[in-house]
Amino acid sequence: VDNITDVEYYRSLYQGEIAQTDAGIGHIFDAIKKLGLDKNTIVIFFSDHGEAIGEHGQYFMHASSLYDELLKVPLIINAPALKRWGGRIGKQVSLLDVAPTVLDLIGIKKPKQMQGNSLKLLMQGDESSPSDFVWSEWLDKRSVRSEKWKLIHEGLSDTYALYDLKSDPREMNDLLDSFTQHMR
C-alpha cells in the first residue's frame, strides 16, 4: 500500500487491529456485567483464520496454505459455570470443538454425528487432550497436526510436506525427504 514495503509496518497495523478488537471484547464483557447477565451467559470469540504477514513469502493470504500462521486462531471462552478456571489451554484444540463444548456447558449431550470434542474438562484443568490430532482442510489442501508433527498434502500437485513443530515452529524445514529416506 502506498509503496510501503516494510513488513513491520503491516505487522504494527495488524497489532493495532488486535488491540482494538481486544478493547471491543472488553466493552462487551462490561455490558454483559452491567446488564446482570454475567452469571448465566456463555461468551465465545474465535476467528475463522489467521493472517500471513510475510511468513512463507505470503502477505494477507487467507487460504493459500495450511501453515500455522493461518491455522492458529484465537479462541476465547467465558463460561460462568467454570468459575474454577481462568487460564489458557496448553493443548491444541480445534474449532470443531466449539459446538460440543457449548452443548456440554449447558448440559446437552453431543449428537453422535457431530464432530469435535468438548473442551470442558480441559478448561477445568484436566490436561488430557480430547484429541491427539487436529485436521484442517481448505479446497484441495489437507493437514493433520499433532503437538510435535504436521503433515500437509497439496491435492492439485499431490505433494506432501512434513514439519517437526517442536524444533521448527515456523515450518521452514520440510523433513519429508529425509524422513522417508530414514524409513527405508
Residue 57: pLDDT band with limits 50, 70, 90: confident
State the residue for C-alpha cell 446482570. Answer: 36
Q: What average pLDDT does the segment 165-178 reach? A: 95
pLDDT value for 63: 67
pTM, two decimal places: 0.83
CA 144 to CA 134: how far, in whole Å?
6
Q: What average pLDDT does the segment 112-121 reach? A: 93
Per-chain mean pLDDT for the chain: 89
**pLDDT (tens digit per residue) in 63-108:** 678 999 999 998 989 888 776 656 778 788 999 999 999 999 999 9
CA 103 to CA 117: how far, in whole Å?
10
Q: Label residue 16 exposed, middle or buried (CB < 10 Å: 0-12, 13-18, 19+).
A: exposed
Q: Which residue has the higher pLDDT, 7 or 159?
A: 159
**pLDDT (tens digit per residue) in 124-163:** 877 776 678 999 998 999 999 999 999 999 999 999 999 9
Q: What average pLDDT does the segment 18-35 reach? A: 95
Residue 183: pLDDT band with limits 50, 70, 90: low
Residue 122: pLDDT band with limits 50, 70, 90: confident
Integer CA distances (angstroms), 146 to 86, 102, 117, 177, in order: 25, 24, 16, 19
37: left (phi over 0), alpha (psi -120 to 50) or beta: alpha
C-beta of residue 143 within 8 angstroms of C-beta of residue 136 = yes
Residue 180 has pLDDT above 90, yes or no: no
